Structure 1
């Protein structure tokens, strides 16, 4: 599938996954490598992904997602985490920024990032979650491009997942994304109404 409009129209949040249909590593890598074209603040890419694939890891994640069956059924569930400290001046990603902006431009950007994100815990969380959310949506569209179904999951124990999967204190769990192939013995619910331009946009 190469038509972007079709990708948007065909992506659905799939509740039922075919347990017998595996997601091969090459396809998973292709999905992630395409998805990381998503934008991020200062191109810092402050995110981390844990691919939960083994039966043992799925059983650990399952109760932390309130026992949702898709955790056990999907061949892979991604834990998407955003780095609350991803803007700090010692982060390696700034070297990529510097290759384009130069030393002076990079130093100015680092100072601006400190002003934007370093003043409160709420701003740090905002930094982590907004960038992690951009990656998450990009993963789901990339998956659709490769013919893989997905489901974003926010009904989870965020703190429990952080602890269980040994994420450090700055790695903020943003969402889970189950990846696999729709179990065609079930039916998808009809797509619910989406609010359109006239309903959500205020022109000023």
Structure 2
């Protein structure tokens, strides 16, 4: 699918065909694309927790004020940011050093910069995790649409309960939920979109 067509055809699904299943291999094809998303200092702090079983999705529905699409979806996914992700910088940058992309001096300077920036700075960690997760999630939804799947981004309700259902570790903080499947109804006409002049501001 051409990009313009892809961007225009991706819509938030209202509900899904409950009898449609998605396989791990189909999801992995999408995540192969998603892993190319940009992230602050290339720290790749975004993590996905995927539920496909009826049992798990039923628990998610109960924790999400009975929103039916969390159950009818082929998979209900929690997108998280890792509060300790910056600590993995040495491992992430080690491969770049071994490949000769950066030298030892640049490696040490980069690791020190990341440590000084994020250590004891929970506000920046939270903000960057949200930015990184949202960039990743948008790419997930576009990649899914390119593979013929519909999606819907959603709030995460009852965070502590959701973390327990998905067995999400303490340092991974849910940012948003994505439901994925095949839409069960005709997509409604797109809602009003502001003209460019109302949201783009040229300043020079």
Counterpart of 1:138 in structure 2 is 139
Matched, 1:150 2:162: no
Give the Cα–Cα distance (whole angstroms) in 2 for the partners of residues 79 and 122 of structure 1.
21
- Residues 97-118 of structure 1: CA deviation (Å, up to 9, x unaligned): 4342232212222222233333
- Confirm or deny that 1:12 pairs with 2:11: yes
**Aligned runs of 1:51-70 on 2, under 5 Å?**
51-70=50-69
Mapped to 1, the partners of 2:171 and 2:96 lie a distance apart of: 22
Q: Which residue of structure 2 aligns with residue 166 of structure 1?
A: 167
What's 1:45 paired with? Answer: 44
Alpha-carbon separation, structure 2, partners of 1:68 and 1:142: 24
Q: Does 1:106 align with 2:102?
A: no
Q: 1:158 to 1:103 in 2, by over 3 A?
A: farther
Instruction: State the alpha-carbon separation in 2 of the partners of residues 160 and 93 from structure 1.
Output: 32
Distance 1:103 1:162, change over 3 A: farther
In structure 1, runs of 5+ residues without a counterpart are none
Deviations along 1:142-195, one digit per CA (max 9) or x if unpaired, are: 001101110111152223322332222210101111111111xx3333211223
Equivalent residues of 1:83, 1:171 under 8 A apart: yes
- CA-based RMSD of the aligned residues comes to 1.9
Q: Which runs of 5+ in 2 are unaligned?
A: none
- Cα distance change of structure 1 residues 195 and 103 upon mapping to structure 2, 3 Å threshold: farther
TM-score relative to the length of structure 2: 0.89
| Residues 35 and 46 of structure 1: CA distance in aligned 2, closer, same or farther (over 3 Å) | same
CA distance in structure 2 between the aligned counterparts of 1:202 and 1:80, rounded to whole angstroms: 31
Cα distance, 1:13 vs structure 2: 0.3
SS in structure 1 opposite 2:60? Answer: helix
